[in-house]
Chains A and B, each alone.
Chain A
Amino acid sequence: MSNFMKVEFAAKSENESFARTTVAAFIAQLDPTVEELTEIKTVVSEAVTNAIIHGYEENEKGTVLIECELKDDNISLTIRDFGNGIEDVDEAIQPMYTSKPELERSGMGFTIMENFMDHFEIESIPNHGTTVTLRKKFLNNQSAYN
């Protein structure tokens, strides 16, 4: 099986729950476990929050684009903004690192993405934006295809 969806929305914090709920609804067709569903919702929430806070510095005129592709048991997610970009990606992905300590950020967003997914990649161009690509293979639903 293969399937695809794309959704673009305003970079407003109200849309963080919309984004994770929408992706969760789309991937439900893979019959994920509750744990897999939570992992996907969490990483979407992390990436969209990063786009809003860091990519656009809470300027709600920006937009966030999510694309999600399903192929057999594999999910591929890209979360893209067209904002500030990240100057130093290696620094940004360090656990507990935050560029905005005054906002009470935990600095754990990228660490969570790395831990909850099989594959994690960031492409960022300063002043053009950031794209996070996340991939995971779902393990629970083998019986449906075997």
Chain B
Amino acid sequence: MALSLTYDFEQKQDVLLVRLTGELDHHEAEQLKNDWQSYLQNGMTKHVVVNLENLYFMDSSGLGVFLGRYKEVKEIGGEMVICSINYDVQRLFELSGLFKIIDAVENEAAALARLGVAL
């Protein structure tokens, strides 16, 4: 059965870059959470950039995953920045108030620059 969500992680200095592709729902949330947590615990990560450019669908299960990782990033003294968010996902972020705690910028380069990564 085809996976409805794929993702990759890339380490850029102390920033973990997460790129999500596809659909993020309850079915996909647990695996993403586990994989993401293992990167947060690798000792190299302080900040996180999440690229949502290719996330075509998300429901409140996704909000739970982002909120959970936001708390973990805060615990290690870092920041979480979202980039390339599309209109549909943006609506859910607005509705849930997540933009009050997580900054959104236009693209990956802007997000990395915000967190002090030299490109």
Contacts and interface: CB of A to CB of B under 8 A. Distances in A.
Contact of B95 (A35, A38, A103, A111): A111
A39 to B, nearest CB: 9
Nearest to B98: A106
B1 A106 contact: no
A57 B8 CA distance: 30
A107 B100 CA distance: 17
Given A106-B96, A112-B92, A115-B95, A17 B59 contact: no
B27 A17 contact: yes
A90 interface: no
Contacts, number: 66
B33 interface: yes
Contacts of A52: 26
A53 B87 CA distance: 28
A133 interface: no
B33 A45 contact: no
B57 A41 contact: yes
A46 B4 contact: no
Contacts of A111: 95-96
A84 to B, nearest CB: 17
Nearest to A115: B95
Interface string A103-146: 11111110110010000000000000000000000000000000
Interface in B1-54: 1, 4, 23, 25-27, 29, 33
Contact of B68 (A42, A49, A104, A107): A104
Interface string A4-34: 0000000001101100100000000000000
B59 A104 contact: no
Interface of A: 13-14, 16-17, 20, 35, 38, 41-42, 45-46, 49, 52-53, 103-109, 111-112, 115
Interface of B: 1, 4, 23, 25-27, 29, 33, 57, 59-61, 63-65, 67-68, 87-88, 92, 95-96
16 contacts: A13-B25, A17-B4, A17-B25, A17-B27, A20-B57, A35-B88, A41-B57, A45-B26, A49-B26, A103-B64, A104-B65, A104-B67, A105-B64, A112-B60, A112-B92, A115-B95
Q: Which 5 A-B pairs have the closest CB atoms?
A: A13-B27, A106-B63, A106-B64, A108-B60, A45-B59
Given A42-B88, A46-B59, 4 more contacts: A16-B25, A38-B88, A42-B57, A45-B59
